Amino acid sequence: MLEGGEPLYLEDASQAPEALFFSGRPSRAAYLGVPLRDAEGRVLGVLSADTAEQGGGLLPEDRHLLLALAEAAGAAIARLEALRKAQGEAERFRALAELSARLEALEDPEAILKEAMEALWRISGFQMALFSEATPEGLWTRVVTGEPPEAWLTQVRHERQPLKRGLMGQALLTGEALYAPSYPDHPLALPERVALGLKSAAHMPVGLFGRTVGVLSLLDFRRAYREDPLPLLGFAARRLERALEKAQTLQQLRQTREEALKGLGVALEYRDLETAGHTERVTALALRLAEELGLGEPALTELRLGAYLHDLGKLAIPDPILKKPGKLSPEEWERMKAHAILGEEMAQRLGFLPPATLEVIRHHHERWDGSGYPDGLAGEAIPLLARIFALADVYDALTSERPYKPAWSREEALAEIERQAGRQFDPELARAFVRQLREGYGG
């Protein structure tokens, strides 16, 4: 009946060799089976009635009633199935909308890929989701989420799949999505993946700025799928592309902007009496100490930008004062000290520098004991990044030759920093800075 899809009525089921009786003993009984269908006519099951307990036959009105019940039950089941499907689709669209919002808020490409793969795995129902990046050496798995079999992980960890091989390679080559609900039966199936038990796979090419850069994939080693996942995969791929393009554009803008700021810092060396390479040296020294202290990437970026622009205010200091080889008069010294405030004001006008960077520019001449300038801050009231940079700036000044002084040796400069710990410098930072430099030189 399931195969034929037609009602079956037996006046005496005991005469049917395929009939089974729960009592184990065949007896004269009528049987009526009516297929239950969904809205598309697919058979969902069978509604049955028999007279095995009471014997006798089924009246025509009983048979008509059962047919009507089967039709009503099929319609109800179809409505429930449609409701379940609609609810599932609504939940899927809600999850995709949330994914879009999360991707828009991210700026790191790696974080974007991980977020997209995690969401795609949860929404799709597939065993795993992954992004494979196209390189000259082949496709390599960059991000994978879900429950990948260990044998698969071992296999892909040591390989670069040729760009033109398999379904994934075909998707990359043609720019078209591919879905293999029964992977072993697909003509492009890779024997090594079939051997691992891959049941179904879907692949969607991902492009950036008009160039295909990788493939978004859904894999399952447990079962084959009937529902086409390509619409979902396509939606996720387009959102991923948009987020990655935005992140790449922002990254390029930041790099260009940072190179410009670094160039400005280097240009200041030519106007001041700084030796060539001062900006790069103090930046490297400050970042090295900050990294040892465990500061994260945002703080390192803020410090790096502050190091580039720490003497920006000297652009407003007249040459006779800035380049004076001898001792400055009290009036000249007051003008010179103003460069810290002037530098902060000039940097603020750029409009994009973080507050911590502005603090480095303003406060890198403050002293731990409160005798520095421009605000006379003391102790931990001095921003941390400014305290870090002050050590690098003074050390480089001491070890560099100037028209008014010879260069100090490394050990002389470190000894001076030790003497000034607790007066000019944060004592803990000074100890870490000195230790770092001595260990770095094998001292």
β 43-50/128-135 pair status: unpaired
d(CA 387, CA 397): 16
d(CA 203, CA 229): 9
**396, 278 contact by CB (below 8 A):** yes
Angle between helices 60-105 and 230-271 (to 10 degrees): 10
d(CA 331, CA 420): 26
- Looking up tokens 């028999």 gives 50
246 counts as catalytic: no
Beta strands in 182-248 (DSSP E): 200-208, 211-220
Query: In 10 A of CB 59, how many CB atoms?
Result: 10
DSSP letters for 92-136:
HHHHHHHHHHHHHH---HHHHHHHHHHHHHHHH--SEEEEEEEET
What the block records as the tokens of 60 is 């025509």
209: alpha, beta or left, given left = phi > 0 and alpha = psi -120 to 50? left
Choose, from 314, 323, 324, 327, the residue flagged as catalytic: 314
**325, 404 contact by CB (below 8 A):** yes
Report CA-CA distances (Å) from 84 to 78, 80, 188, 400. Answer: 10, 6, 35, 75
130: alpha, beta or left, given left = phi > 0 and alpha = psi -120 to 50? beta
Nearest to 215 by CA among 176, 183, 182: 176
**218, 128 contact by CB (below 8 A):** yes
**Which distant-in-sequence residues (6+ apart) come within 8 Å of 187 by Cβ?**
none
13-22, long-range: CB within 8 Å, 24+ apart, which pairs?
13/50, 13/52, 21/52, 22/52
Nearest to 63 by CA among 75, 52, 48: 48
Is the bond preceding 374 in cis, omega lying within 30 degrees of 0?
yes
- Active-site annotation, residues: 314
